[in-house]
């Protein structure tokens, strides 16, 4: 009885194994399924590039000036103003009097002229040293500004731009050379003279004083030129790095993409501004670019032609999918795998 039971159990187990083997997928079916998964196109998303009107970025050196000379000149102007006003008032009183000698009247006229000339000389020196558009040329504004400069809450800068035209820069900011936050230059005007140590265009400016922006400190100045350049902005999400260069993928046809070199010379807030090579309306890949680059770099994806001198990095016009010559522009198809040569 035990032998018969064992035989029946063995037959049942063998039947279950056979049925399980019949229901299992064949190896060929599994390979077909894997190949089908391999050719699924990547999740690629593109956006259209909009026309951009970006200002030219300027850089220079800012020097925080010692205010002692300016404060001394302001003190001399104040004294000369008092003397000139007194001499003028005294002359008017002497002219109205009939009890004074002619010599006394002539002395008053001479003194009034001397004091007036001294005041004019000091005001001319102020304009020649700081420019006729300086905010402290006006007497009323000068009183408030000199008080702020004297107590250290405001600082005077000299801004030197080596590569700039005559136009006044916009959105001027300074940053201490040793590091720190940017400080906006809220008042700027042309300097009457240049800097022999740095040929270019110079300006004066006023800022709120802070750490690293005291008398004698130097700072990096960043500004926007009034000149505007037409082009497009390549988003940061569209950039991929290959062979130590930056690229992006452009959609040339539906599901076909071409890799193009991107210049990083003009960074902006959300990407990089380029003047040429990309037209407004061009669609660039902002999601899936790394997948396209990986497929492009698969073995057989490039035409290994060493006629160009054996360069290891493929040119941006190298073929990505299908058989093409090396001189034809390359495209990456998101829905097919590259064919082997």
Tell me the pLDDT tens digit for each residue of 239-295: 999 989 999 999 999 888 999 999 988 888 788 889 888 999 999 999 989 889 888
Closest CA to 206 of 163, 161, 139, 142: 142
Supply 339's token pair: 């064919």
- Give Cα 99 distance to the centre of its chain: 75
Structure confidence by residue, pLDDT tens digits, 214-236: 888 889 998 887 777 788 999 99
Task: Calculate what percentage of the chain has a pLDDT beyond 90.
Answer: 35
pLDDT confidence bin for 112, thresholds 50/70/90? very high
Is the dihedral angle over the CA atoms 144, 149, 154, 159 positive or is it negative? positive
Q: Say yes or no to pLDDT of 15 above 50.
A: yes
pLDDT confidence bin for 340, thresholds 50/70/90? very low
The radius of gyration of the chain from alpha carbons, rounded to an integer in Å, stands at 39
Give the pLDDT score at 70.
93
Distance CA 185, CA 216 (A): 17
282-307 in b/e form (b: 16+ CB < 10 A) is: bebbbebbebbbebbeeeebbbeeee
Structure confidence by residue, pLDDT tens digits, 155-213: 999 999 887 666 788 889 999 888 778 889 999 999 988 777 777 889 999 999 888 88
Q: Name the residue with tokens 């391999």.
A: 38
Topology of domain 45-53+229-304+313-333, CATH: 2.40.420
Supply 333's token pair: 């198809």
Could you tell me the residue ranges of all domains in the chain?
45-53+229-304+313-333, 67-143
Supply 197's token pair: 């140590």
Polymer length of the chain: 341
**Long-range contacts of range 84-92, CB-CB < 8 Å, 24 or more positions apart?**
84/112, 84/115, 84/116, 84/118, 84/119, 86/115, 87/111, 87/112, 87/114, 87/115, 87/116, 88/112, 88/115, 88/116
pTM above 0.85, yes or no: no
Task: Calculate what percentage of the chain has a pLDDT beyond 70.
Answer: 74
Structure confidence by residue, pLDDT tens digits, 70-110: 999 999 999 999 999 999 999 999 888 888 888 998 999 99
């Amino acid at each position: 009885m035990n032998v018969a039971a064992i035989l029946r159990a063995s037959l049942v187990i063998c039947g279950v194994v056979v049925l399980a083997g019949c229901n299992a997928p064949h190896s060929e079916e599994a390979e077909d399924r894997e190949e089908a998964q391999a050719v699924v196109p990547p999740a690629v998303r593109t956006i259209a590039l909009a026309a951009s009107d970006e200002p030219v970025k300027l850089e220079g050196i800012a020097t925080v000036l010692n205010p002692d000379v300016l404060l001394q000149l302001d003190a001399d102007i104040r004294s000369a103003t008092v003397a000139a006003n007194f001499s003028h008032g005294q002359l008017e009183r002497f002219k109205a009097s009939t009890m004074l000698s002619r010599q006394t009247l002539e002395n008053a006229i001479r003194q009034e002229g001397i004091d007036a000339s001294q005041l004019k000389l000091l005001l001319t020196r102020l304009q020649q040293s700081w420019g006729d558009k300086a905010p402290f040329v006006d007497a009323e504004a000068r009183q408030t500004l000199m008080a702020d400069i004297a107590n250290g809450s405001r600082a005077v800068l000299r801004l030197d731009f080596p590569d700039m035209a005559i136009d006044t820069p916009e959105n001027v900011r300074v940053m201490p050379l040793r590091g720190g936050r940017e400080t906006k230059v809220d008042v700027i005007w042309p300097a009457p003279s240049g800097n022999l140590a740095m040929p270019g265009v110079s300006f004066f400016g006023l800022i709120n004083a802070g750490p690293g922006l005291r008398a004698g400190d130097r700072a990096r100045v960043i500004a926007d030129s009034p000149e505007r350049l037409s082009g497009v902005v390549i988003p940061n999400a569209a950039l991929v790095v290959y062979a130590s260069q930056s690229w992006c993928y452009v959609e040339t046809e539906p599901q076909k993409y071409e890799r193009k070199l991107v210049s990083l010379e003009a960074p902006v807030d959300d990407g990089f501004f380029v003047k040429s090579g990309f037209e407004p309306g061009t669609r660039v890949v902002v999601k899936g670019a790394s997948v396209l680059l990986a497929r492009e770099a698969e073995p057989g994806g490039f035409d290994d032609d060493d006629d160009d001198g054996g360069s290891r990095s493929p040119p941006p016009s190298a073929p990505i999918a299908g058989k093409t010559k090396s001189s034809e522009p390359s495209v990456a198809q998101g829905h097919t795998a590259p064919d082997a040569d």
